[in-house]
Amino acid sequence: MFFLIILCISSTILITFYIVFKLRNKKYKDFILKNSIALKQLLDINDKYHFYECKSYDDSHVYDNNDFYNNISCEDYLIYQLQFKKYEVSKDIKNIDNNIVLYDLYCKEIVAINSFGNFNSSTEKLNQKHLYSIEKEVFNQYKLKPILHFYITITLYCSKINGQIYASKRKTFTSDQILPLIKRLDNKNGGFYNDKGIWDSLCRVERGRVSNKMRFSIYKRDGYRCRICGRSGCFDYLEIDHIKPIAKGGKTTYDNLQTLCRRCNKEKGDKY
């Protein structure tokens, strides 16, 4: 009982101190916001600078097939996405580079501010030391913090057929890693990629786009029969084939997928 009373009293004292401390800080902050010359100069400089806000390209994908999950790396997945986003991404990387140049100028202007401790109103009733430290704090709060680094984070998940995720991998790519990939993607001859590594990545991801859900709906559409020899069989025996092979630029769409038995699929190979 005695212990409880002591606990109550000490926590009440602590809370009171906390509230008094907060109120005091608020009073100082309000004074600074209204009267600090350094802060006013900072806000004027802030008005002159417009930094680029970059949107996020972070991406993720859930594979319900363990083999695809193991075969496909985060880099493969990024390369695949860059096919469609590379113009936007390169533009954003350039804009972030501009931010860096601009931020350098901004910092030089900020550093030149030397009017700390000068106020438009009398500070007689305030603790000078405390006022000075709060002014620094508020000043730092109002400094612009533009984006100076470009990143894309790719997260790949592996799920069971019921959707429960049991594994994941994640990698963050910087602009220094992304720009060479874009360059390699641009090394193209018509529809053909000259860079074999890039082409292999794209094929792996394209192949991995056949989810189990898609697989079973193709089987169903084709009546659980091989579209070449007409044999029906258990799922172990049936496979999904890209009619126009991925290696020849075929895509993973319902129109381009068919059910084949293992034997016919092996014979067909990369033929179209």
Taking each helix axis from N to C end, the angle separating 128-142 and 2-35, rounded to the nearest 10 degrees, works out to 70
CB of 252 to Zn ion, least distance (A): 21
Cβ neighbourhood burial of 162 (10 Å; 0-12, 13-18, 19+):
exposed
CB of 232 to Zn ion, least distance (A): 10
CA–CA gap between residue 151 and residue 24 (Å, rounded): 41
User: Closer CB to Zn ion, residue 126 or residue 261?
Assistant: 261
User: Closer CB to Zn ion, residue 78 or residue 264?
Assistant: 264
**Which residues between 236 and 265 bind Zn ion (CB under 5 A)?**
261, 264
Specify the pairing of strand 59-63 against strand 151-159.
Answer: parallel
CB of 225 to Zn ion, least distance (A): 8
Which residues lie across from 189 on neighbouring strands?
Answer: 192
Of 46, 262, 256, the residue nearest 142 (C-alpha)? 46
CB of 245 to Zn ion, least distance (A): 17
CB 119 within 8 A of CB 35: yes
User: Closer CB to Zn ion, residue 14 or residue 229?
Assistant: 229
CB of 219 to Zn ion, least distance (A): 13
Number of residues that bind Zn ion (CB under 5 A): 5
CA–CA gap between residue 168 and residue 156 (Å, rounded): 6
Q: Does 89 sit near Zn ion (CB under 5 A)?
A: no
User: Closer CB to Zn ion, residue 183 or residue 262?
Assistant: 262
User: Closer CB to Zn ion, residue 159 or residue 259?
Assistant: 259
**Which residues between 29 and 58 bind Zn ion (CB under 5 A)?**
none
- Tokens, residue 260: 């084949």
For residue 125, the 8-state DSSP code is: T
Cα 34–37–39 angle (5° rounding)?
75
Question: From its phi and psi, is residue 224 left (phi > 0), alpha (psi between -120 and 50) or beta?
Answer: left
Q: Could you give the string, one character per residue 214-233, with x where binding to Zn ion holds by CB under 5 A and - elsewhere?
A: ------------x-xx----
CB of 227 to Zn ion, least distance (A): 8
User: Closer CB to Zn ion, residue 201 or residue 259?
Assistant: 259
Positions in the binding site for Zn ion (CB under 5 A):
226, 228-229, 261, 264
